[in-house]
Structure 1
Amino acid sequence: MDWPETWDRMAAFLRSVSQTLPQKPDAILVVSGHWETAVPTVTATAQPPLIYDYYGFPPHTYHLRYPAPGSPALAAQVQALLTAAGIPNAANAERGLDHGVFIPFMLAFEAADIPVVELSLQHHLDPAAHLRIGQALAPLRDRNVLIIGTGLTYHNLRHFMGQDRDSDALSHAFDAWLVAAVCAPEAERTTALKQWEAAPGARICHPREDHLLPLMVAAGAAGRDRGVQTYRDTVMGKALSGFRFG
């Protein structure tokens, strides 16, 4: 399999992201599927290191660099908004950015000149709680902070790496459901995402929902803005999508 060609369309999409924004963000708040804590926690270091949280890859991938600054000021704003919403939270002044952040950002924000703060998922992975977190953080959008959720809309690695027509079909059914849900009006979108496990093929596509929940935070922050599907691809038989709000 030609891996670079397999992911070329996704790479092209990521490289186009910054060009589609109405203006350059003052900072980015990002939720990755690779950090879970008991309460929502923000990185609060001015110079976040990188966390090479993957195994068995070529040696050069452990020397990648993404020297974007952090923003203790944004971390404090996030905490203040969560506290005002009655959501317990914390800050971590030592943790850096995991590969769910720096790998896509190396393409999407190549200059690494926008401050980045990462927000954790909660261990319980409750969709309603993550939608509520997003709702609490919505005011950041008016402060020119870009809120991003990274992950994959299909994340069953056992089926991803194998040839399985049944799971291919279920991935397309789930993707169609997800597109309809995300692009629906706010109330309908929120209800659907809370009940995502009832979607066709849901637990085949996401045996564990860590890669789906960052989307919940972004959707919660979207308010009345309807989602728009900005990326669509089929990779190794599996349907993948990307969205933006506003």
Structure 2
Amino acid sequence: MTHDNTTSPTSRLPTYFISHGGGPWPWMKKEMGATYDQLAASLADMPRQIGRTPKAILMVSAHWEAPAFTVQGNAKPPMIYDYGGFPPHTYEVRYDAPGSPELAQRVQSLIAAAGLPVQIDPERGYDHGMFSPMAAIYPKADVPVVQLSLRRGLDPAEHLALGRALAPLRDEDVLIVGSGLSYHNLRNFGPQAHGVSKAFDDWLDAAVVKGAPAERAAHLQNWEAAPAARMAHPREEHLIPLMVAVGAAEGDAGERVYHEDAFMGGLVVSSYRFGAV
């Protein structure tokens, strides 16, 4: 069902964990060819899945860590070109979505009420974990976006708890998106990584889709015991946003909404949605 934005939403929004790709890929079609076509199509399909334009998006990006959970309070966030070695034009790209200090305050209050450490950063800009996928999801940059940091230490249980604290936003027309990568080992890319990425991806799908929703948190807290876990994530900052998406949709069914078995020449990668649409 499609809803007019002037009316109150009639259903709870799902949450997402998306694989956001590498660097400023939406602005590198000439250089990358068809490499990102499947990922781009899956991201572009999210508005159709949701069935309406949300009031705002809260995005937890793998590319921001802070001592306390930190909310972006900037009304007009600048660009943060947090990548290296890309063509000169990619350091001039723009994704000028508005921020939302009002949502930032709401997020801060929810996190504080859960007893978790939180602060607002009034200056923080948008990093590529936000603007690269958002260029595919909402290319007009007309939906307000607020970023939320990970907390240093990357404790899975703490980020699941963060998701639980944020769950009320789903009834307030705010879309919660965890932006990372289901496989992130930059030293082991390409065909030689197919086996380890598949082993971890198979476990991930079983843990968050095929298993009982009530058991997901326990599986994810023990993710390091998964097959090829540390080969897939030598450092887990690109996996931890999944914990937030899962925590905010505890008890809801999961569905794999993007999957490739030969990404970048051989990687097995996936994205997930939690909750009905």
Alpha-carbon deviation of 1:163?
4.1
Alpha-carbon deviation of 1:121?
0.5
Q: 2:245 aligns with which of 208, 218, 224?
A: 218
Alpha-carbon deviation of 1:26?
0.2
Match for 2:236: what amino acid? E
Alpha-carbon deviation of 1:3?
2.8
Stretches of structure 1 that go unaligned for 5 or more consecutive residues are none
TM-score, length-normalised on structure 1?
A: 0.96
Stretches of structure 2 that go unaligned for 5 or more consecutive residues are 1-30
- 1:171 and 2:200 matched: no
Structure 2 distance, partners of 1:185, 1:132, is 19
Structure 1 distance, partners of 2:173, 2:250, is 16
Match for 2:255: what amino acid? V
Q: Provide the aligned length of Structure 1 versus Structure 2.
A: 242
Q: CA RMSD in A?
A: 1.1
> For the Cα contact (< 8 Å) 2:213–2:254, is it kept in 1?
no
Structure 2 distance, partners of 1:42, 1:185, is 32
Match for 2:205: what amino acid? V
TM-score, length-normalised on structure 2?
A: 0.85
- 1:147 and 2:176 matched: yes
Where do residues 68-87 of structure 1 align in structure 2 (5 Å cutoff)? 68-87=97-116
Q: Deviations over 1:35-79 (max 9, x none)?
A: 000110000011111100011100111111111000001000111
- 1:53 and 2:79 matched: no
Q: Deviations over 1:93-148 (max 9, x none)?
A: 00111001001101111121111000000110111110000000000000010000
Quote the sequence identity (%). Answer: 54
Match for 2:196: what amino acid? L
Q: 1 or 2, which has the higher helix percentage?
A: 1
Higher relative contact order (CA 8 A, sep 6+): 2
Task: Return structure 1 stretches of 4+ with deviation > 6 angstroms.
Answer: none
2:132 corresponds to: 103
Structure 2 distance, partners of 1:225, 1:32, is 22
Match for 1:168: what amino acid? H
